[in-house]
Structure 1
Amino acid sequence: MVYNIIEVANTHGGSIDYIHSLLDEYSQYKDGFGIKFQPFRYDEIATKDYEWYDVYKSIFIKEEDWNGIIDIAIKTKEIWLDIFDEYGIKILNNNISKISGIKLQASVLFNYSVLNALSQTSLNDKKVIINVAAYDIKQIKERIMEIKKLMNPREILIEIGFQSYPTELGDSGLSKITKIKANFNNRIVFADHVDGQSEESVILPVIASLIGADVVEKHVMHSSLETKYDMFSSITVDRYNRYITLQNMYLELLKMPFITNKEKEYLRKTIQIPILKEDVKKGKLVAKSLLSYKR
């Protein structure tokens, strides 16, 4: 079974009502599903001269609102948090008993302010996803050792994928799955960021599920409310439902027996059996040259 994480990212644009309505749209997804939020504070994640600073400020969500959002979301799904700064850690600590795991983007894996702060939080019953975009095998091993040493989490998962608004199909990282499986025992997360309007946005994560991804993280957005940010690789609930339907259908095929009953019946009805080319007396040995094989 593949575990699915519904990624909200910043599609909400700072609107609490948007998030509540989005949670309602995706409330049908329960067992085997998580939902991930990105709580951060504009002046902790960026400097004032950074090009997205004003946007970060406009989409900022207060502590009490995050607490309320998490209280609603946990009714149907496990909760995950992207951690970028110490504000995110504060939201984590405020809701520590409700959080199943956290994710660290590739850009955060050397942020020792965040890493050291996380080391002060009890994470031994939590899962930690580390995104390894642009990291080679040696660097991934080093980062895993560092996270294990600092945080001692219950589990470390390795995530493939990066956001390129949207990411080209060739940059999806699908080819990394087998190589990472060959070098690590960690479960693999596939984060799909291709164009949300493309057929690949539904098919690609299904393929990833079939070739070894243990977890799929998928960006979503509201079906009717305006989405200002992170819409590039996001899909609406109808397309998400199609993705899950296809994923379940194809994963079920992997459970089929080596030989199915219909396969046996096919052979029984079509196998060519030996027929004598001419009459032979009962009890006489039959030479192979006298046999013909027919259905």
Structure 2
Amino acid sequence: MAKILLHCPLNISRSLVQMMEEFCREFNEKHNIEVTIETQPHRPSETSLFEACVEKNELPDITVGHVDDFADLPPGFLAEHFKSIPGRFPIRKELADKGWTDNDGYFHPFVVIPFAIFYNKNLLGKEDIPQVWQDLLDDRWEGKILMPDAFRIVSLVVKTFMKTDFPKKFDGAKKNFVHQASPMEVITAVDEGRYPIGITNIAFARISKQKNTRIIWPKDGLFCMPQVMVYSRNAADQLFEIGDFLMSDKIQNYLALQSFVPAAKDIPMHQLVTDNQCNLRWKGWNYFLQALKGRRLAV
């Protein structure tokens, strides 16, 4: 028996689970290892399943999804409880060249999810469009930037890194950001002209029923969240095949269709990503995890 804990965005979680369950049935027939997949509920009242596993010392064989789950681990915990397998799941050159390879071999990204800024074209002229993230901290945007609920990962990550990267301006500009329910409700509100600017993950940001929104790819790159595979020290080596499946053409092409950045080599990226040179804000694993440590208190 093996266990996978999956914590991915809701808009891809269900499809990923379906494809993984189908693969795991074949995997069980091949290796006689039954695999169960447990998914993190997307509700603020729900306890983090990963935190519960850590507290009980009952770690899943593979943890799949948001890397921020690892930000609050105590010193030495990662090395003591998880496998270091550097190079086992190589990533595409565009990511490797920008420092996305974890040389310690614990975090294996299988996709990177950019968080996009978008605007209503009927409310903003060319001269009004923010060019870099820090522009969103200007006083003129007070109460005008709509984001999903504060507990959702896009809001946590974007506001955490805005505070980390622009500490002098951020605290005085918190009033610029308004939180309102789900990503789709954010999209609808900006599309209908109730807010001039919104922020969601890039797959949602592309949706516009009334065709009134446009995506901004800032000059300093999009904030993002890597989705990773992390293997427990107790995981059987045969389970590496599940990682290979997540890096397979089937999974990677599905993720690329969402305008996410597929980690596997030779998988075509969405035109929206290539047109913007896959420009992501990334300063390395240590910086990323340190910034997210205690993230719920940071914003």
TM-score normalised by length of structure 1: 0.25
Higher RCO, 1 vs 2 (CA within 8 Å, ≥6 residues apart) = 2
Q: Which has the larger radius of gyration?
A: 1
